Amino acid sequence: MLENGRKAPEFELADQHGRKHTLKALLADGPLILYFYPADFTPGCTKEACSFRDLHQDLLKAKLRVVGVSPQDVASHKRFAEQHDLNFPLLADPDKKAVKAYDLDGPLGFGVRRGTYLIGADGKIKDSVLADLRIGAHEAFVRKAIEAGASL
């Protein structure tokens, strides 16, 4: 994981609708929760994505947004988002450029580690959590970020 206080690495990735997103553009509206997950449609990743979906109204009140990143392609993200009625962007990173930039590449380059960053509007990492198998730790992290709210 990258250290708190560090400038978050820039990226440009397409979402489930094929629209390109950069970190700079995502931060234009304020702080961001950027989470990395191993794969669409796996039980843990589905549970995590649905918990973020269910927190959507609380996130909006706190002026926070969630964006997910994984190596699957745009088509996979589109099916995953539609099947689970996800209300936030899922960014496709098939070359794992963002995954590597955020230090979440799996052991020996296989897979992706489950990590979540809270990035302030200034582009700096405010907090992070790495909890590969503990999905609940990510939801708790997001709830803590919601409590901090717009002070980010």
Number of domains in the chain: 1
Residue bearing the bigger pLDDT, 15 or 108: 15
Residue 50 is a catalytic residue: no
Residue of 13, 23, 27, 45 with catalytic role:
45
Residue 1 covered by a domain: no
Residue 130 covered by a domain: yes
Decide: residue 73, CB within 10 A, 0-12 exposed, 13-18 middle, 19+ buried.
Answer: middle
Q: Residue 134 — pLDDT band, cuts 50, 70, 90?
A: confident
Residue 3 covered by a domain: no
When the pLDDT of each residue in the chain is averaged and rounded to a whole number, the result is 93
Q: What is the CATH number of the domain that holds 33?
A: 3.40.30.10
Residue 7 covered by a domain: no
Domain containing 38 equals 12-151
Decide: residue 45, CB within 10 A, 0-12 exposed, 13-18 middle, 19+ buried.
Answer: buried
Phi, psi of 48 (to 5 degrees): -65, -50
Residue 123 covered by a domain: yes
Give CA–CA dist 78/118, Å, rounded. Answer: 24
What is the pTM assigned to this prediction? 0.93
